Amino acid sequence: MYKIIFDPSAEKEFLKLETKSQNLVASKIKDLKEGNFASDKSLQGKHKGKYRKRAGNYRIVYLRENNLLLISVIRVAHRKEVY
C-alpha cells in the first residue's frame, strides 16, 4: 500500500472539480494507493520520470517513489490543459 501526498496546487485543482468528476478522480487515486499502475503511462520530455493516470476527461500526473512507497500527486486537470 502506498501513501498519497497532494501538492497544494493539485489539491486546489481537485477541489474545484464538480462532484461527479471528483468522485471519479478519487476512485483512481484509491487505485494508486493500492498499487494499481497497469494502465498508467510514463511521461516524456520535461516531465520524464512522472506518470499519468486517466480519469475520464481528466488526468492525474504523479511521481512514484518505489523505495519509499510514496506517490506525490502533482497535477489534476482536464486533458486539454494538463501538459
Q: Domain ranges in the chain?
A: 3-78
CATH superfamily of 3-78: RelE-like (3.30.2310.20)
Strand stretches in the chain, DSSP E: 3-6, 41-42, 51-55, 58-65, 70-78
Supply the angle between the helices 8-16 and 19-34 in degrees, to the nearest 10: 140
Instruction: Read off the pTM.
Output: 0.85
What pLDDT was estimated at residue 55? 93
pLDDT digits (tens, 9 = 90+) for 15-67: 999 999 999 999 999 999 888 888 899 999 988 999 999 999 999 999 988 76
